[in-house]
Structure 1
Amino acid sequence: MDPDFVERRRIGLENFLLRVASHPILSNDKIFYDFLTEVSASVSRPPSDQADSRLKALNATFRVKNPDKRFTELKHYSDELQSVTSQLLRVRARVADRLYGVYKVHGNYGRVFSEWSAIEREMGDGLQSAGHHMDAYAASIDDILEEEENYADQLKEYLFYAEALKAVCRKHELLQYELETAAQDLMSKKQQREELASGTVRTFSLKGMTSKLFGQETPEQREAKMRVLEEQIQEGEELLQEKKTECDEYVRNAWSDMERFTVQKDRDLREAMISYAVMQISMCKKGIQVWTNAKECFSKM
């Protein structure tokens, strides 16, 4: 296995663990603690039905009637962030490929200068020295691209960050959908209670058709149904309050995390871009130094 690849993965894992450790809730999670302290390689995880949860999230996305504007904007932002980050990584990869070719072609200078030095007497030493500088210049691209990959990995991390934002939005849509469903069910039960109390059916329903075909219900039947409806309404109100509390708590916690991660994202990307620019400047300076050394070699011929 490529040791450089393993080292990059190790650095990525270390950065991830540091992020988890800095989180006020995740840092105290049992799974995280077991991962850090478990001697064996396997750490048990609670089972999850990903297919079912994805289906529910997809269903909620299209059926939520009153989406939270903040989460809608966050979802759009995550799409745009993922798009521009992907484009930036593709541009960097193309530039790196061309740069690799340019550097390696300089190795031809080294070969030609070395061959030329063999047939010259007075210019031989200067040509050979210049050839050595060109060879060193051509070989330096491997370390440069390895350093570039580290910065690319930092950008790739925010591709996953964008996916995490989408997951947060999908979770909120699911909670909002469950809240709206509970509210709709409760409203339906209350409407049934009003219809049962007044003896009129406002909307077309099976109950209305049954009443017309078989006559009105007896007072005892109506009272029994009323008791059942009262119980269902009470349960529905409790469920609605539970869903509302759950949704509000999720929004509060999620938005707190979003604000914290936004600050961290801005800081990380700013540092990565500055470091990348400094690396490019250093690379150009090394190129200038190589050609300056070659010029001195030519001057001594």
Structure 2
Amino acid sequence: MSGTIVDSAVFPNQTNTMAADISGQMLDLDEDDDLEVFSKQATRGSAFEFEEEEASDFKDIFVTVDNPESHITAIETFITYRVLTKTTRSEFDNSEYEVRRRYQDFLWLKGKLEEAHPTLIVHPLPEKFVVKGMVERFNGDFIETRKNALHRFLNRVADHPILSCSEDFKVFLTAQVWELASYKKQGPGLLSRMGETVRAVANSVRGVKNRPEEFTAMQLYVEAFSNKISSLDKVTQRIVKEQKEYLGELKEFGPIYTLWSGSEEELVGPLKGVAGCIERCCKETEEQVNQLSDTLVPTLHEYVLCSESLKAVLRRRDNIQAEFEAKNEALATKKVDQDALKEETDRLEDRVEWANSALKGDWGRWQRCMRGDLKSAFITTAQKNIDYYEKCQAVWETFLLSQRMDGSEDAEKDDSS
């Protein structure tokens, strides 16, 4: 979909606002050149090639997140979600599992996947804290939205040809609460994690000297994508807010006509007719607002978070290369410990090649998912807007027709008398 279609079809009343906010920056989802510029390179000779058609035919793990429950203890209040898994994989002892997980468990899983596969694109989790202006924490709408986002996160992992084979993912899906708590304690110690952090900071400060051109282009793409999707997210949330305010006023408007009809004997029919039209339009407006809130807003905001995940992946790739470059320089200048440095340099070179291959392979896969998700959300929203305006128009046209018919009948009665 071009930017023009997004402006006029998805948000019919916001064309000027959109043009002013992000003119010339919309995603062109129907053009192949800009969205597949990297995927062609990603599939060439990559160890991580993955055909979507084959994967869908061979899907062997299905995960559902549902049934949120609130827990109140002396020190905290939290929500747990039921995670149901059905699988035919031989590495699982059973074909079905049911466990309960809280948000911090999902956060742990995401961290472990990123730690083990720093340049694979792990789908984002919803934010830990509620964004200002959004619903209250533990409010029913918030819990439902978070449940849906957690469901999508696990299914993205389950659909991934590499991440879904992670031992951490298997433990997350199968271990009971106490078993998971015990497994978490087996992770790297505090000093080890601090060492990794120090190296990452040092590498980011040092920077990369010879970043491959394709990753520089990837970085530019991500920056542009982030700006576009953030603008769309903000505009959409503003539209939803304004539509909710309009709906609230519309609900107050209808009863006024009903009350008015009680004091105007000759206008009882028309006034009650207007009240009925407003009531039916209220119902249609509420459905439209729900569609925006349930479909478009979560999808756009999810990809705002996704853009941040992509930036983090690219930073981690740069850190891996920066560490290799630093060791390579040390090997060229130092006269002692040559053998040890050479061995470490070779290891880091292999790590850089693996990281690059992993990212290139995942890049095309992520783009296909992104394009499918956004295109589906835009088309669904555009169709809902068309249905909404057509139904509201039909309501008022029916009312006008009834009034004209009543007027004709009154005129005939006057002529006959």
The residue number in structure 2 matching 1:218 is: none
The residue number in structure 2 matching 1:294 is: 399
Seen in structure 2, the aligned counterparts of structure 1 residues 105 and 10 have a Cα distance that, compared at 3 Å, is: same
The residue number in structure 1 matching 2:303 is: 158
Question: What secondary structure, in the 3-state scheme, does the structure 1 residue paired with 2:177 have?
Answer: coil
The residue number in structure 2 matching 1:24 is: 161
TM-score between both structures, scaled by the size of structure 2:
0.57
Distance 1:22 1:62 in 2: 36
The residue number in structure 2 matching 1:261 is: 366
Question: What secondary structure, in the 3-state scheme, does the structure 1 residue paired with 2:265 have?
Answer: coil
Shift in Å at residue 158 of structure 1?
A: 1.0
The residue number in structure 1 matching 2:292 is: 148
The residue number in structure 2 matching 1:60 is: 203
1:117-136 to structure 2, matched below 5 A, reads: 117-136=261-280
User: Is 2:237 aligned against 1:100?
Assistant: no
Q: 2:312 aligns with which of 164, 167, 173?
A: 167
Shift in Å at residue 256 of structure 1?
A: 0.3
- Kindly indicate whether the alpha-carbon contact (under 8 Å) linking 1:60 and 1:174 is maintained by their aligned counterparts in 2: yes
Task: Give the total of aligned pairs.
Answer: 261
What whole-Å deviation, never above 9, does each CA across 1:215-239 have from its counterpart, x for those lacking one? xxxxxxxxxxxxxx3xx11222111
What's the Cα RMSD here?
Answer: 2.4
Question: What secondary structure, in the 3-state scheme, does the structure 2 residue paired with 1:24 have?
Answer: coil
Question: What secondary structure, in the 3-state scheme, does the structure 2 residue paired with 1:67 have?
Answer: coil
Shift in Å at residue 37 of structure 1?
A: 2.0
Seen in structure 2, the aligned counterparts of structure 1 residues 290 and 35 have a Cα distance that, compared at 3 Å, is: farther
Seen in structure 2, the aligned counterparts of structure 1 residues 30 and 260 have a Cα distance that, compared at 3 Å, is: same
1:42-53 to structure 2, matched below 5 A, reads: 43=181, 44-45=183-184, 46-47=187-188, 53=196
Distance 1:82 1:48 in 2: 34
- Kindly indicate whether the alpha-carbon contact (under 8 Å) linking 1:72 and 1:169 is maintained by their aligned counterparts in 2: no
Look at both structures and tell me which one has the larger radius of gyration over its CA atoms.
1
Q: Which amino acid aligns with 1:21?
A: A
Shift in Å at residue 285 of structure 1?
A: 1.7
Q: 2:390 aligns with which of 260, 272, 285?
A: 285
The residue number in structure 1 matching 2:219 is: 75
Distance 1:243 1:273 in 2: 44
The residue number in structure 1 matching 2:349 is: 244
- Kindly indicate whether the alpha-carbon contact (under 8 Å) linking 1:85 and 1:155 is maintained by their aligned counterparts in 2: yes
Shift in Å at residue 294 of structure 1?
A: 3.1
What stretches of structure 1 of length at least 5 have no aligned partner? 193-228
What whole-Å deviation, never above 9, does each CA across 1:133-190 have from its counterpart, x for those lacking one? 213323543432222122211111111221121111111111111111111111112x
Distance 2:402 2:197 in 1: 66
Shift in Å at residue 34 of structure 1?
A: 2.1
Question: What secondary structure, in the 3-state scheme, does the structure 1 residue paired with 2:263 have?
Answer: coil
The residue number in structure 2 matching 1:219 is: none
User: Is 2:220 aligned against 1:115?
Assistant: no
Q: Which amino acid aligns with 1:246?
A: R
The residue number in structure 1 matching 2:230 is: 86
Distance 2:312 2:302 in 1: 15
Question: What secondary structure, in the 3-state scheme, does the structure 2 residue paired with 1:123 have?
Answer: helix
Q: 2:328 aligns with which of 183, 194, 197?
A: 183
- Kindly indicate whether the alpha-carbon contact (under 8 Å) linking 1:74 and 1:165 is maintained by their aligned counterparts in 2: no
The residue number in structure 2 matching 1:40 is: 177
Q: Which amino acid aligns with 2:213?
A: K
Q: Which amino acid aligns with 1:272?
A: A
